[in-house]
Structures are given as structure tokens and as C-alpha cells.
Chain A
Amino acid sequence: MILSSHFNYWIVIVLMMIGFFIVISHGNLVKKLMGLSIFQTSVFILYISMGKVAGGTAPILDEAYSVYSNPLPHVLILTAIVVGIATTALGLALVVRINEAYGSIEEGDIEMQDCDKLDKENANK
């Protein structure tokens, strides 16, 4: 019973965990951003699936229908998608700058370079 009525949450959770896994385990910053966007989409799906009413249609009023899905989650997610792309663009811009400064977008390389720099500074002192 629970299986058929809660499947939407399960999908959301699986997607969310995939995104989370990518963010944690991959060193590449672009890949991390992709993971983040998967995570984001899973949240969108959660909201939208909660707004769905069984037997309802899209919330564009019409004489012929009486049951509509809830418009509020749609509004929230609509703006969230556009804001999401804006923030992704910002993240990508940061990645580009990091690449220019360090010559790499792998997390490990960047940390190594930082450590080297710190060591040198300490040695100078």
C-alpha cells in the first residue's frame, strides 16, 4: 500500500541522493555543479508532486473543469528554476575564474596548490 502511494517521494529521494553523491565524491567542479542541479530538480519534483490532486487538471480556469491542481507550488518552482539557472551561471563563472587562477578544476589539484603556497609562505617566515 505504502509502496504505490508514496512512490513520488521515493523517486525524489533517489534522485536527491544521486545528486548528493556526485557532489561529495567527484572532484571536478563542473561535475559538482551538475550534481547540484540534479539535487535541485529533485526538490522541484517534490514540490510539484505534492501539488498534484488526483483527477485534477492544470490550474488554468475553464468552465469545463472543477478540480485543479494546487497552483502555489507551481509558482514557487517556476521562479526557482529561473533563479536556479542564474545561480548555476554564477557558479560556472566562478569555475572559469578558478580555472584561470589555478589551471585546473579538480578539487584535489587546487588543494595541493594551496598547500604548497602555504608551505612556501611558512618557510619564508
Chain B
Amino acid sequence: MFIAAAAALLISMLFALSRAFLGPSIYDRILSVNMFGTKTVLLIAVLGFMMGRPEFLDIAIVYALINFISIIGILRFFEYTHPPVVNSSEQNGESDS
């Protein structure tokens, strides 16, 4: 059963990977990296159970955290290189979202 779960996760990781290769815009790539990260968290958790050593969960936790940090980092530095073009009225509306 765990093997089936791992295989399913691998398949969806494969999809994400191919989207990261093809991705026409940079945002597609970021999105697929994000999804890839989440799937890796799950895969590591499932693998830990598969090998009967749930200690592996620590790694999954680290991934869940680090993945978030790296996505934020990517977005942050992306704002430097491509500053967003917004007109001020839209910005005011958006900032309360």
C-alpha cells in the first residue's frame, strides 16, 4: 500500500518536473517547484513508513519549512529584477487582501 502511494507521488512529481522543464513563464516554474517540494515532503514521510522507521519524519518537517522559505526567497528576489507594474489605485485595493 505504501509502495502504491509512493508510486502515485512519484508520478505526480514527474508531471511537476516536466512542467518545470517546459514552463513558458517563470511563474510556472516557481509553481511547479513549490508543488514538487510539497510532494517531496509527502514522499519522504511515506518512505519513512515504508522502511518502518518513522524517525524520518523530521526530514519531512524540515522540508515543509525550508520549501516555504525558498519560495518566499524566490519571490522576493524576483521582485528586485522585475519590479511589479501597478497603478496606485489597484495597489491600495490589493494591499488589504
Contact between A and B in the complex (any CB pair below 8 Å) = yes
Q: Does B76 contact A (CB under 8 A)?
A: no
**A86 sits at the interface (CB 8 A):** no
User: CA–CA, A60 to B53, complex, Å?
Assistant: 10
- State A30–B85 Cα separation when bound (angstroms): 28
Whole-angstrom CA separation of A41 from B53 in the bound complex: 25
Measured in the bound complex, the distance between the Cα atoms of B52 and A32 in whole Å is 40
In terms of DSSP, what is the predominant structure of the interface of chain B?
loop
Complexed CA–CA distance, A37 and B53 (Å)? 30
Chain A 54-65 near chain B by CB (<8 Å), digits 1 or 0: 000110100000
Number of interface residues of B (CB under 8 A): 5
Residues on the A chain within 8 Å of B90, using CB: none
B96 within 8 A of A: no
| Interface flag for B65 (CB, 8 Å) | no
Across the interface, name the chain B residue whose C-beta is closest to A58: B53
Judged by a CB distance under 8 angstroms, whether B51 is at the interface is yes
Give residues of chain A (58-75) contacting chain B, Cβ–Cβ below 8 Å.
Answer: 58, 60
Expressed in whole angstroms, the minimum distance between the Cβ of B69 and any Cβ of chain A is: 15
Q: How far is the CA of A60 from the CA of B54 in the complex (A)?
A: 12
Smallest CB–CB gap between B26 and chain A, Å? 17
Q: When chains A and B are docked, how far (Å) is the Cα of A57 from the Cα of B56?
A: 11
Q: Mark B36-53, 1 if CB is under 8 A from A, else 0.
A: 000000000000000111
Q: Which residues of A contact B (CB under 8 A)?
A: 57-58, 60
Q: Which residues of B contact A (CB under 8 A)?
A: 51-53, 55-56
Query: What are 7 A-B pairs with beta-carbon distances under 8 A?
Result: A57-B51, A57-B52, A57-B53, A58-B55, A58-B56, A60-B53, A60-B55
